[in-house]
Amino acid sequence: MKKINYIMLVVLTAILASCGTTTQVPVTGRKQRLVVSDQEVMSLSNQEYQNYMKSAKLSTNATNTAMVKRCGQRLATAVETYLRNNGYANEVANYKWEFNLVQNNQVNAFCMPGGKIVVYEGILPVTQDEASLAIVLGHEIAHAVAKHSAERISNSQKQQTAVSVLGGVASAAGMGPNTSSIVSSVIGVGTKAWTSGFSRSQESEADHIGLIFAAMAGYDPQGALAFWQRMAAAGNSSNSIFSDHPSDEKRIKQIQGWIPEAMKYYKPANATTTTPTKTTKTSNSGKTLRYSTKK
């Protein structure tokens, strides 16, 4: 059995070390290994985004729609300036920014790779003003800039390869069907936990980078604390090991620690901060959900 475990370890190490390219996440400097290209991810995401927008209904509230687009563009401009000035100029061409407000009363927003961002009307009563909306949009933009979708796809492909190889190793080692099944089950549970924890780390990284981006765009990052406190009051959070998001308490504590760093980038903009107007109609009814990110 020790020999089999050693063979598994050697094979897995070889797989993970040989595939993909290593890149560095802007702002945090974290290294990531991707096995899918930007072109592949952009092609898939554009298809999904177009399909979604065919069924979505845009908000009829002109003031709120203008605020989302204005805030988003301020952030996009600041982000592109940062990328150009910090060795990521070749990344700018990947982004075709689009910011849409849609009729949906869920407390939510999501980002597709390439800068396609959708905000649900239901989150505006929680953001309450443009500065807090910038925290949401900064978080979403951070997912795109950090290539979190590509990273999750790469991670998934590595797991599938690992399970396939381990099955072959188990068979070659003379294990019976029951033993091979047990090996696959153990690997499956392990990768599920790894993926979940990995997703939580992505969410924390998006909080961190997004806070910096909001500050770069001239929005006071100190407002993030009150916003996330309101988010915590808007719904229930799960502390399960398989939860995709940090607990509210951990999230707020982390943001407190990042604010001094974000303040170094903060220069108040001349533009006024807008408070969203009340929306009287949404097309999709349903239970208000805790803010999360769709990928």
At 160 the pLDDT is 58
At 270 the pLDDT is 65
At 166 the pLDDT is 41
Catalytic pick among 80, 121, 130, 140:
140
Closest CA to 63 of 53, 52, 71: 71
Is 80 one of the annotated active-site residues of the chain? no
At 175 the pLDDT is 38
Q: Which residue has the tokens 């990052």?
A: 221
Q: How many helices (DSSP H) and strands (DSSP E) are in the chain?
A: 9, 6
Provide the β-strand partners of residue 293: 109
What is this structure's pTM? 0.75
From CA 88, how far away is CA 109, in angstroms rounded? 26
At 265 the pLDDT is 96
At 37 the pLDDT is 84
∠ at Cα 167 (165, 172), nearest 5°? Answer: 95
At 142 the pLDDT is 95
At 48 the pLDDT is 86
Mean pLDDT by 10 residues, the chain (295 residues): 42 47 92 86 85 95 98 97 96 94 93 92 96 96 91 72 44 42 39 49 93 98 95 62 64 95 90 61 38 39
From CA 8, how far away is CA 167, in angstroms rounded? 10
At 273 the pLDDT is 56
At 274 the pLDDT is 64
| 3-state helix/strand/coil string of 68-122 | HHHHHHHHHHHHHHHHHHCCCHHHHHHCCCEEEEECCCCCCEEEECCCEEEEEHH
